Amino acid sequence: MPESTIDTPATTEYLGLEEDKFSEINKSSEPKLKILTGNDAPWPGNSFIIGYQNTSKVLTYKGQGVVLAEYEGKPTQRWACHAQNGWLGFANDPGETTYWLGIGDNKETDPLLICRITGIHGRLETFCVMKRPDDGFLVFKRVKERLRPIGIGPDGSVSVRANWAHWWGFTKIS
């Protein structure tokens, strides 16, 4: 994947360092996340950047929807992993309200991914993730009592798909 960096904090208060020490560290050290590795297994209690295959595009929360966008290190591109009853759930990094990644309607053939459910994640916000033999992971969503892969539709939408050609990379950021 192309190289990406995470923004460094604008103030040193966050790091607990004096300004001159921060400048010295910032000049001499490499960024914490130079590239999106894509091979970190999603695990509850951690946050991830979720990238699409070998591209620099990542899942991005946008207006209660989910789109693929170029990785820019924005909070809308970070997903906190949770578990409930053996299923994984992903929430956009919480603020006053936590929004869960899920599908809008379990009755559609290829439901779109959304991010507008608040509170505890339920059945429409649960996922199964499986490691591929090569790089990356398959991400599945339960639809009509079947597991179906998450992928990209012909129109570029992020949705439940019928084929297994789509895969995702998880890069742990916390």
pLDDT, tens digit (0-9, with 9 covering 90-100), for 46-99: 999 999 998 999 999 988 889 999 999 998 999 999 998 889 999 986 666 778
One of 2.60.120.10, 3.90.1150.10, 3.30.1360.120, 2.80.10.50 is the CATH number of 40-172, namely: 2.80.10.50
- Provide mean pLDDT across the span 148-167: 90
Structural Rg of the chain based on CA atoms: 17
125-151 b/e (C-beta count within 10 Å ≥ 16 → b): bbbebeeeeeebbbbbbbbeeeebbbb
**Can you tell me the distance from the alpha carbon of 110 to that of 161, in angstroms, rounded to the nearest whole number?**
6
- Provide mean pLDDT across the span 110-119: 81
pLDDT of residue 32: 38
Query: Is the full-model pTM beyond 0.75?
Result: yes
pLDDT of residue 94: 63
Dig out the tokens for 17 from the structure: 């360092």
**Can you tell me the distance from the alpha carbon of 160 to that of 85, in angstroms, rounded to the nearest whole number?**
22
pLDDT of residue 28: 32
Q: Which residues pair with 151 in a beta bridge?
A: 159
- Provide mean pLDDT across the span 110-139: 86
Residue 131 has pLDDT above 90, yes or no: yes
Domain ranges for the chain: 1-35, 40-172
Residue 15 has pLDDT above 50, yes or no: no
Mean pLDDT, the chain, rounded, equals: 78
Lowest mean pLDDT among 13-17, 103-107, 123-127: 13-17
Per-residue pLDDT of 22-50, as tens digits, reads: 233 333 333 434 568 888 999 999 999 99
pLDDT of residue 51: 95
pLDDT of residue 7: 42
DSSP E strands: which ranges in the chain? 47-52, 57-62, 65-70, 79-84, 87-92, 100-103, 113-117, 127-131, 137-143, 146-152, 158-160, 168-172
pLDDT of residue 14: 30
pLDDT of residue 69: 94
